[in-house]
Amino acid sequence: MQSQRLPTLEDVARVAGVSRATVSRVVNGIRNVDPQLHQQVWAAVDQTGYVPNRMARSLVTRRTGTVALVVSDSETHDDDPFMGRFFSDPYFGRVVGGLMSVLRPLGVQLALQMVGADGHKRLVGDLRNGQADGAVVLSLPARDPLPGLLADAGIPAVLIGRPAEPVPISYVDLDNEAGAALAADRLATRGCRRPVMISGPPDVPASVDRISGFRRAMARHGHAWIPQETGNFTQDSGEQSMRALLAAHPRLDAVFVANDLMALGALLVLHDAGRRVPEDVAVVGFDDSSAALSARPALTTVRHPLEDMAAEAARMLLSRLDDPDERVTSVIYEPTLVERQTA
């Protein structure tokens, strides 16, 4: 029965015995309408089962009631079917959950947008033409041109994670330096003698900050020299890095790993190498993703309140939509250490 015409404003107006304009006013709760009519109109709405047509409304208001979650990975090509399997990373789900928690109560839609190396221009075009009112951008690669393009196009947007290059767009981020320092302090407090670290890619801001934060804090504890291997945030790279570190520095007794997934890999390698965690080697991860809990032993890690951050990003975007001239701002979250068994 879907083909039967859906009731329109016109229909409701006829039933209620008023004009379209009045119905529109009532439905949108605008202006003082005589309580009597108000009543009649709602009755007519119920009776007809009327639901406003989104497109028609958007066409005139120039608002879609949709925001896009843009996952930008300009290092992946558009024809990679699963976009580098990013989706199975718990990261993605946490962001979606956080966004939803503020969007859904407000009746705002969330539209998913992937964009690889090629799609930037098209994305911007689509966004300008009513795909969405604004975008929350998850920028994976280091130097992503997307934020710049969005800013130029004047598309309301909020980034999750500080952009690599300064750009006039608001963002939420974590104080990665402080997080890494937390890890360093923990490790130092346990009395480690030979700390090492497994870092993320050297060109993404979060990664850079974690490195410098860890080094700086360790320096304060008297550790001037921290051997380091570079991974790419996958479990596999964590394993490789740990193996390399173990080979080069057999007597290491503490390792800071720049995210939980890599930490998981490191734990595996450590176990295989017969090192006891945390007795022989202490390990601290980063993110407090679901992976941390399933680790064996349970991973001590730096909590990254991604859900909250995503929720805040949504709020910032919404408020910018209300007032486009709002100042560009940033909100930085403070990480905390969650102590489990590995350190």
Partner DNA sequence: ACACGATGGGAAAACGCTCTCCAAGCGTGT
Partner DNA sequence: ACACGCTTGGAGAGCGTTTTCCCATCGTGT
**Residue choice 15, 50, 265, 311 for contact with DNA (CB under 7 A):** 50
**Residue choice 40, 170, 176, 289 for contact with its own copies (CB under 8 A):** 289
Single-letter amino acid, residue 94: R
15 scored as a contact of DNA (CB under 7 A): no
| From the list DNA, its own copies, none, partner contacted by residue 338 (C-beta under 5 to 8 A by kind) | none
The sheet that has 254-257: what strands, in order across it? 228-230, 195-199, 254-257, 282-287, 300-303, 336-338
Of 31 and 251, nearer to DNA (C-beta) is 31
Secondary structure E strands in the chain: 66-72, 109-115, 134-139, 157-160, 170-174, 195-199, 228-230, 254-257, 282-287, 300-303, 330-333, 336-338
| From the list DNA, its own copies, none, partner contacted by residue 39 (C-beta under 5 to 8 A by kind) | none
**Residue that is written with structure tokens 């930008």 in the block:** 72
48 scored as a contact of DNA (CB under 7 A): no
313 scored as a contact of its own copies (CB under 8 A): no
Query: Is-contact 254 190, C-beta < 8 A?
Result: yes
C-beta neighbour count of 91 within 10 angstroms: 21
**Residue choice 13, 18, 138, 155 for contact with its own copies (CB under 8 A):** 155
For residue 27 the two structure tokens come to 């439905």
Angle between helices 35-48 and 9-16 (to 10 degrees): 120
CB 270 to DNA: min, Å: 59
Q: Where are the alpha helices (DSSP H) in 249-335?
A: 260-272, 290-294, 306-322
Interface with its own copies by CB under 8 A: which range of 75-83, 176-184, 188-196, 242-250?
Answer: 75-83
Interface with DNA by CB under 7 A: which range of 58-66, 138-146, 147-155, 315-323?
Answer: 58-66
Interatomic CA distance for residues 216 and 117, integer angstroms: 35
Of 216 and 271, nearer to its own copies (C-beta) is 271
| From the list its own copies, DNA, none, partner contacted by residue 20 (C-beta under 5 to 8 A by kind) | DNA
Please give the residue ranges that form the binding site for DNA (CB under 7 A). Answer: 5-6, 8-10, 18-22, 24-25, 27-28, 30-34, 36-37, 50-53, 56-57, 59-61
